[in-house]
Structure 1
Amino acid sequence: MTNTHSLDTLLPTKTLDLDSGLSLVPRLKLNLTIHRADASIKPLDEWQLKTALINFLNTTFKLTVPEDDLQVYKFKDVKKRKREDPVARGKLFVREFKFLDDNIVDFDEVDKKVKEWREMVVGKMDGIELSLVGVKFKLGVEVPNSDRFDVMRKEWEEDSVFDGGDRGYSRARKREPDTIVLRGVPSRWFAETRVSSKPSMLVTHTIFSALGKIRNLDVSEDDGFDKDADEDSEDIVPGLQCKIVVRFEDHMEFSKALKVLCGRSMQKQGSRLKADYEVSWDKDGIFRNNRSQNEENSRSMPKVAAYSYRSEPARYQSHAARFSENNTRSKRFKE
């Protein structure tokens, strides 16, 4: 298993093996937005769009993309949407990168080559028009920020300047995040085998320890990941996906882990499924807010206890007043 000292030099085209038969495999993820490019109101044919895009990728970039790695989601009630609104969105995954490293072992050189190739692909795809049986659609393409480590690093650096005093950080010191948020991974991959289908804290801790020293961890169901109420989609079976929040010992450990998780998908040995998760840094101070809430609750607890304790003698005296000294009930009228 790769240790944290070698994470800095792990090439972006290489796979990282984790515990429990899991691995992080390189990918290029592109978000697609499809708009109408003519006055037609004919609905979008998903199969025709996929076929046209796969052929374009093959002829332009010599890439062979399986149909499962190109996902298209049509929006509901397209006729009711404005003409400038998109009719669908999608995701494209490219998973072959062997042609980029050419046995190069220098990290900076390979990293630069991958970024240049990625920008070239986006530049040639963004804005193209596709004619599907006489109906024209315009394609918008971008790399999501969650797959761009440099963009996320710029976000938290700017956040530390303009928002350094919020969420439990002191304005006197630089705000540096230490927590990652991972969404869209199968719950069963983090469960105890033959025990439960729900994710286990112990298993999750063991897996993510390969990325650095962990200070805190949280795992929860994440059924709403990457879903849009305006899209045509089938009902979601609850409990299939989970959200994992990992707080590392320090910013350096966090930074190494986030850089490795960016631009990769998770795969389990013996399974054809690839979890195309979304990773980000914690902007809300999840664990710090929980700690502050716990501290506030602990401070308020003695007050509640004291109040309850003070009420006991009052209840006792009220009850005892109804009895005389010889333990008989006081008489309301004289005999």
Structure 2
Amino acid sequence: MRFRVLSGDCSCWILKSQNPNLQREREREREMSTLKLDSISPTETVEIENGLSLVPRLRLNITVYPSSQVVSKPIDEWKMKQTLIDFLKNSLSDPVTVPEEDLKIRRVRDLKKRKRDDPVASGTIFIRDLGFLRKTSRKGEEVEKKFSDWRRYIVEKMDGIELNLEGVKFKLNVAVPESDDFQGMKKGWEEFYAFGNRGFSRGGKQETDTIILRGVPSRWFAEPRVSSKPSMLVTHTIFSTFGKIRNLNVAEDDDPGKDANEDDGDLVSGLHCKIVVQFEKHKDFCNTFKAFCGRSLQKEGSKLKADYEVAWDKDGFFRNSRNQTQEDSSRARETTTYPRQQQHYSRFSSDEAPRKRFKE
């Protein structure tokens, strides 16, 4: 058996091992991991290949608006952080401790460019200590329900509160990102294929099968001591733990994304990569999406937690890639043959036409 690997404009075939016993063993291991992912709770850590693990956390997007229309100076980021940290620690039924590095605030620097209804700041809160939810619940379904209820409680408690910073009042809007709500995302792709009449499966039922990750560290998917660029082979090994892969694309991702700070003008190219994985089965895609949803990526031996963006493919990434590759190949063939045709017909131009053999 073999699978197709696509990277940019290139495609290649990689042959799998022909050892039937090894294939059966891998199939059993894959089935076991799939069963575990079916019942995984949102507070469990998922260990995958290459020393990587998916660590659970709650992510909240925050937006700060002024209570009055007149704002004379930019918001103080440090004081805003301290106010939110104190609120989480002292105003909830279960106190939550958030380190300062897990609270990111991006303020509007030039208030003169700000429109009347625009926010003065936005940011993200990461709550990583979820151990108290595991202690009070044992079964996976109980933990999942408690996590969902607790997340809703946090949002309701924080959304709409008024903050006072040096006599200036601000209103806080809080929401869970769509990509962190697995049930909401699942409902979205089911409705998309039910009413949009789209899909890439070869059977009668159309289902999504492709996951997109952005903002993951390139060096974590690279070959050690070989290159700092993401490796197709390493990436395939990592994602094969979730199921059979039909197509795979890995590329550098230099787009800072919507969470980037407007002052970050010194972004280094090649630090992050974008990974697109198409699975053979919808179930494997679904389990993979559930594992990556609501978690951060961590490497063994590193303190860094990569907070990536996860999405499902609505636009037929690999279908469009194949079409583009075919168009490029066709254009290349035309470019290659065209000079030959010109050279061939140039021998019969009017200036160098053969002389006539009869007298005029």
Q: What TM-score, normalized by structure 1, do the two folds share?
A: 0.87
Query: In the aligned structure 1, how far is the partner of 2:43 from the partner of 2:340?
Result: 65
Please report how far the alpha carbon of residue 42 of structure 1 lies from its aligned counterpart in structure 2 after TM superposition.
Answer: 3.1
Query: In the aligned structure 2, how far is the partner of 1:24 from the partner of 1:11?
Result: 12
Q: Which runs of 5+ in 2 are unaligned?
A: 1-28
Runs of 4+ in 1 over 4 A off after TM superposition: 167-170, 227-230, 295-313, 315-319, 321-324
2:115 aligned with 1:85: no
Query: In the aligned structure 2, how far is the partner of 1:225 from the partner of 1:162?
Result: 33
Please report how far the alpha carbon of residue 295 of structure 1 lies from its aligned counterpart in structure 2 after TM superposition.
Answer: 4.5
- Say whether the 8 Å CA contact 1:42–1:135 is kept in structure 2: no
- Choose 1 or 2 for highest CA Rg: 1
Query: In the aligned structure 2, how far is the partner of 1:180 from the partner of 1:238?
Result: 23
Pick which of 199-208 and 78-87 moved more.
78-87
Partner of 1:237: 268
Letter in 2 for 1:4: T
Please report how far the alpha carbon of residue 31 of structure 1 lies from its aligned counterpart in structure 2 after TM superposition.
Answer: 0.4
**Alpha-carbon displacement from aligned partner over 1:193-226 (angstroms, at most 9, x marks no partner):** 1111111111111111122221111111112233
User: Which of 136, 142, 148 pairs up with 1:109?
Assistant: 142
2:44 aligned with 1:11: no
Query: In the aligned structure 2, how far is the partner of 1:137 from the partner of 1:302?
Result: 62
Q: 1:103 to 1:53 in 2, by over 3 A?
A: closer
2:306 aligned with 1:275: yes
Query: In the aligned structure 1, how far is the partner of 2:37 from the partner of 2:260?
Result: 38
Query: In the aligned structure 1, how far is the partner of 2:264 from the partner of 2:335?
Result: 49
Partner of 2:14: none
Trace 1:127-138 onto structure 2 (pairs within 5 A). 127-138=160-171
Partner of 1:327: none
User: Which of 155, 160, 166 pairs up with 2:188?
Assistant: 155
**RMSD, matched Cα:** 3.1
Query: In the aligned structure 1, how far is the partner of 2:337 from the partner of 2:270?
Result: 42
Q: Which runs of 5+ in 1 are unaligned?
A: 325-329
Query: Partner of 1:283: helix, strand, or coil?
Result: coil
Q: What TM-score, normalized by structure 2, do the two folds share?
A: 0.81
Query: In the aligned structure 2, how far is the partner of 1:204 from the partner of 1:169?
Result: 23
User: Which of 2, 14, 22 pairs up with 2:52?
Assistant: 22
- Say whether the 8 Å CA contact 2:221–2:234 is kept in structure 1: yes
Please report how far the alpha carbon of residue 145 of structure 1 lies from its aligned counterpart in structure 2 after TM superposition.
Answer: 0.5
- Say whether the 8 Å CA contact 2:104–2:123 is kept in structure 1: yes
User: Which of 253, 256, 259 pairs up with 2:287?
Assistant: 256
Aligned length: 326
Percent identity between the two aligned chains:
53
Q: 1:299 to 1:175 in 2, by over 3 A?
A: farther
Letter in 2 for 1:128: I
Partner of 2:224: 193
